[in-house]
Amino acid sequence: MRGFLASSIGVTCAAALTLPGALPASASTAQDLAPAASRAALPGSTQSLPLAPLPADRAAGTATPRQGLQRRDVRPFSLVGVIWDDPDTELFGRVQVRTRAVGSGRWSGWQDVETHNHEHAADPDTAERASGRVRGATAPLWVGNSNGVEVRVQAEADERAGAFDDSPFPRGLHLELVDPGAEPPDRGPVDAPRAGATEFPALSRKRTVAEFLSGRADRESVRAMPAGGRSGQRAAGNERRVQPYIGPRPRIVTRRGWGADEGLRERGFVYTNKVKAAFVHHTASGNNYRCAQAPSVIRSIYRYHVRSSGWRDIGYNFLVDKCGNIYEGRAGGVAKPVMGAHTLGFNSNSMGIAVLGSFGSTKPSAASVKAVAKLTAWKLGLFGANPRGKTYLKSGGGNLYRKGQNVRLNVISGHRDGFATECPGRRLYTKLGTARSTAARYQGR
């Protein structure tokens, strides 16, 4: 059988798909070896507009302070969010936006923006969190191609407002308008012998297991190589006879496939030791998108996470759309234990999967739940994890578990299991039992 990593996806994607192995001994970081040409800037932009005080809404019978922007013309954008200076400060209030569609010129009704978003973040005391670039932010909201905007932020009538130096708002409120740019050009079929494939093709379970064992045997041979030069073939042979529980690798759209501008993110990669659990999220960005628009939604979230929120890369390790397509998230290798910024306090030894949309009252599609099961069956299987099982993770600190506490969690958990939050939405959370049993079946359990 031809070597998969060399033949299927080309040089750059081969590096991204390298099976789990030894990480740098001195630190959990590695250098980005992508060619400079891959970092050429792609279309896309962010407009950042400071919010200003608005008159009190007398018609609503309230005199609580408001900030925002009156209706105005702006350059085209498709995603909105609100940011502020201090990431440790919460925005207690209601954020609503109205937008004008390009083409029709129609204004939308008022749409709510999810304000409680700080739990999607890097862990305390990590370099990413302490970079000095991180800002407070709402969840992003996808509104489609627009060229006009109006926003209002209504303060919450709460005693906590006094914590903000007699102002109910965090300092430095800005409206972020993100244009994802045009779709990237087609870069040819996936099996083309070139760097930069747009997807990792799906594999059968038999081939997935065979190539996992082949890669593990190669690593064991290297470790077992004696000083005299004889290889550890017996050890490798023993490893080959062990049949692990790994689901078939699903089709995964690469970062190149969804059009990531690699010049936005930080160059290095950061890894954790292993993947013991998967946290499922929703992006809270709304459900008003078509599957063909999913790459644009992801490019917008990526830009919002990096340019607006100050993160090193997109926070999630993987994303899933309503049609069940799976997308590579944070850079560093889809088979590697890449450290994400998705579940505050539990980013170590875990991965984050975000389903595009909002699922508090909306039922997730069957295709998206099935995709979560396929992805977890494969990725958790690479690290020997049972999707129906339990595991222990050490808390990095949060509002449910103190720092350093060992917490028993489902191997496939919802974000709310590690942090007091509505994420991944009630309707998606109730589907995690189905995802667990389906993933275990895909693993052959």
Lowest mean pLDDT among 215-224, 228-237, 330-339: 228-237
How do 412-414 and 29-30 pair as beta strands? unpaired
- Residue 186 has a pLDDT of 55
Reported as a pLDDT band with limits 50, 70 and 90, residue 157 is low
When pLDDT is averaged across residues 300-310 and rounded to a whole number, the result is 97
- How many residues does the structure list for the chain? 445
Q: Where does the pLDDT of residue 170 fall: very low under 50, low under 70, confident under 90, or very high at 90 and above?
A: very high
Q: 3-state SS of 337-392?
A: CECCCCCCCCCCCEEEEEECCCCCCCCCCHHHHHHHHHHHHHHHHHCCCCCCCEEE
pLDDT band at 126; cut points 50, 70, 90: confident
The whole-number pLDDT of residue 1 equals 39
Whether 318 contacts 353, CB under 8 Å: yes
- Whether the Cβ atoms of residue 148 and residue 73 lie closer than 8 Å to each other: yes
Residue 44 corresponds to which tokens in the numbers above? Answer: 């896309």
What pLDDT is recorded for position 162?
46
Per residue in 195-215, pLDDT tens? Answer: 468 999 999 999 999 989 987
- Cα dist. 152→53, 74, 113, 148, 169 in Å? 9, 16, 10, 14, 12
The tokens for 57 are 């809404």
Task: pLDDT band for 185, please (50, 70, 90 cuts).
Answer: low
Q: How far is CA 119 from CA 140, 306, 423, in A?
A: 14, 16, 9
Share of residues in the chain with pLDDT > 70 (%): 78
* Mean pLDDT, all residues of the chain: 85
**96-118 pLDDT per residue, tens:** 999 999 999 999 999 999 997 67
Q: Which residues pair with 318 in a beta bridge?
A: 328, 353
Asked if residue 8 has pLDDT above 70, the reply is no
* pLDDT at 419 exceeding the cut of 70: yes
Q: What is the pLDDT of residue 141?
A: 98
Report the C-alpha gap between 281 and 294 in whole angstroms: 16
pLDDT tens, position by position, 246-282: 999 999 999 999 999 999 999 999 999 999 999 999 9
| Amino acid, single-letter form, for residue 428 | L
Lowest mean pLDDT among 62-76, 213-227, 302-316: 213-227
Highest mean pLDDT among 16-30, 169-183, 224-238: 169-183
* 78 confidence band (pLDDT: 50, 70, 90): very high
User: What pLDDT, on the 0 to 100 scale, is given for residue 286?
Assistant: 97
The confidence band for 72, taking pLDDT boundaries of 50, 70 and 90, is very high
DSSP H/E element including 5:
helix 4-7
Residues 320, 275, 339, 258: what is their CA dihedral angle, to the nearest 10 degrees?
-30
Question: Are 337 and 410 within 8 A, CB to CB?
Answer: no
The count of other CB atoms within 10 Å of the CB of residue 317 is 29
Whole-number pLDDT of residue 167: 78
Q: Kindly state the percentage of the chain with pLDDT values over 90.
A: 68
Question: Do 232 and 220 touch, CB atoms closer than 8 A?
Answer: yes
pLDDT score recorded for residue 227: 46
CA–CA separation, 69 vs 54, rounded Å? Answer: 8
How does DSSP assign 237-285, residue by residue? Answer: HHHHH-----PPPPPEE-HHHHT--TTTS-SSEEB-S---EEEEEE--S
> pLDDT tens, 346-376?
999 999 999 999 999 999 999 999 999 999 9
Say if residue 3's pLDDT is above 80. Answer: no
5 has pLDDT over 70: no
